[in-house]
Amino acid sequence: MIGIVVSRADAASTHIGEQLRAVGAWTAHEDGSRADGDGGGTYYTTEGFELREFDAIHIELGDPTPAFADPDELDCIVFVSRHAGETGRLLTAHVTGNFGPAEYGGEAGSFARAAPGAHKTVVDALDAHAPNEYEVGIECTHHGPSECATPSLFVELGSGEAEWQDPDGARAVANAVLDLRGVAADHHPVDGGRPRNGRPRHVVGFGGGHYTPRCERLVTETAWAVGHIGSDWQLEAMGEPTANREVIDAAFAASNAELAVVDGEKPDLTAVIDDLGYRVVSETWLRTVGERPLTVVEAAETTLSPVADGLRFGEVAVETERGSNDDPADAWTVVSLPDELIGAANGIDADATLTAVDESTVAYETTEGATLPAGDALVADPGEFTDLVDRLAELLGREYASVEQTADGVVCRDTGFDPEKAATLGVPEGPKFGRLAAGETVEVNGREITPDAVESDRVERFAVAWPAGLSPADAAEPPIDE
């Protein structure tokens, strides 16, 4: 159940409430246990939603949870509200609280329980429903209420009187809110239409401007959701991180998050976050990890190297059962990638080479700015390593006459243009080298030089560290009769 809060002191909120009731089948009820201005009197329900109206402005409501028919059944509360500012036509969403003083409701250094999953969904929904002339954005945490224990968020129509009375804008907000039907407050990756077990995909944001483009990218482009956001101006209002450890800790707790992204160089803040037991990660880390189980990610980084050093993940899944104490590392084998073989295949077809590694591994190390697999890798089945070598050898078959796998690796043979032979026969470097290499006969000092006269056998050897029992030599040994 999602509770919707409408404030009669807010023209945009009232307008959005009217648009909400105009969509779908709502049932009116009477609540005589509370004053009309305190959420009582007439209220409305439809499948998955309960709408209550209040006289007070949203930021002064504290925690409206008790006003709803069954507070224990509330998954989330949505405050539909105006947005004010010099930002033109804008639909926005954010969670509430204060990193510093409580100038606009709530309490200083306190946060309402965020609803990152609902926030992520409603931002996408706003984008889908926004009239053409409206922008969509997210804001930092910057006003109350901070007392709301039920996960909550504001969804707003802005940014001036004309927009607050705009039926198209209000209808877009109403439709976006109704798209939250069945959405949980916390964000979990979905597998087969059902939320996957494990920790939610939440981060706390620090730094940047009021509208935090980095956090907006995370919300709209990645598998992650964002809880509370302390923009640069909010962090300045908070004061020194070392003197406000409790505030920083509260932001994580109210976001149900263990990770943070920090925009800009903030060593004092980063040190406090680390000391509190949380982790600062990069946008690249979040994009690389995606929806993968965090226990697998952590074990892979421990076994190989951090994502920051170039670790990347393949498409082979390794998961442990919910509640299990199994170590994901028990489900994989560490192998050494055939770096030279990968480099040669990459020179022939870079996309096919990367695909072969992706489809054969759980995770792998890289070089050259994380563009070329190299180093060690994790495979769920050692046989997948041999499949990888097969695919790389097949790529080399495009350039070589023969490709053979041996106990030492891969041997490629070919016959091709030999510059030394050409020079010995007096062929000058330049266009005639190129013509001979292309299979054409050339004339040098009145003498014809044919391509076969300057050819040599070419042999390239690429070492492979085969897993035990899986080299071609092992496969060739006859079974032992007992």
| pLDDT tens digits, 254-302 | 999 999 999 999 999 999 999 999 999 999 999 999 999 899 999 999 9
Give phi and psi for 224, each to the nearest 5: -110, 155
Of all residues in the chain, what percent carry a pLDDT higher than 90? 89
Beta-strand pair 152-159/190-191? unpaired
Residue at 339: amino acid letter: D
Looking at the DSSP bridge assignments, the partners of residue 333 are: 379
pLDDT at 473 over 90: no
Contacts of 219 (CB under 8 A, 6+ apart): 119, 120, 123, 138, 225, 226
The pLDDT value recorded for residue 482 is: 45
- Asked if the model's pLDDT at residue 152 lies above 90, the reply is yes
Are 52 and 79 contacting, i.e. CB atoms less than 8 angstroms apart?
no
What are the φ and ψ backbone dihedral angles of 376, each rounded to 5 degrees? -105, 165
Report residue 183's pLDDT band, with 50, 70 and 90 as the boundaries: very high
Q: How far apart are the first and last CA of the chain?
A: 68
Maximum alpha-carbon separation in the chain: 112
pTM listed for this prediction: 0.87
Mean of the per-residue pLDDT values of the chain: 94
Does pLDDT of 160 surpass 90?
A: yes
Q: Note the pLDDT of residue 416.
A: 84
What pLDDT digit, counting tens, does each position of 67-110 carry?
999 999 999 999 999 999 999 999 999 999 999 999 999 999 99
